[in-house]
């Protein structure tokens, strides 16, 4: 379980980060 967590955590953080970036891009285009 620990190895799975260490593998999935970076992907989860990356997805969260890219999600935030797309949201920022949307707001930038809406302005």
State the Cα–Cα distance between residues 2 and 25, nearest whole angstrom: 35
pLDDT value at position 22?
A: 80
pLDDT value at position 26?
A: 78
Sign of the four-CA dihedral 24, 29, 30, 31: positive
pLDDT tens figures, 1-31: 577 777 778 777 777 777 777 877 777 777 6
Look-up of token digits 């992907």: 11
> In terms of pTM, does the model score above 0.85?
no
Q: Would you list the DSSP string of 2-24?
A: HHHHHHHHHHHHHHHHHHHHHHH
Both tokens of residue 12?
A: 């989860």
């Amino acid at each position: 379980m620990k190895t799975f967590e260490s593998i999935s955590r970076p992907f989860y953080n990356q997805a969260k980060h890219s999600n935030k970036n797309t949201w920022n891009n949307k707001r930038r285009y809406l302005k």
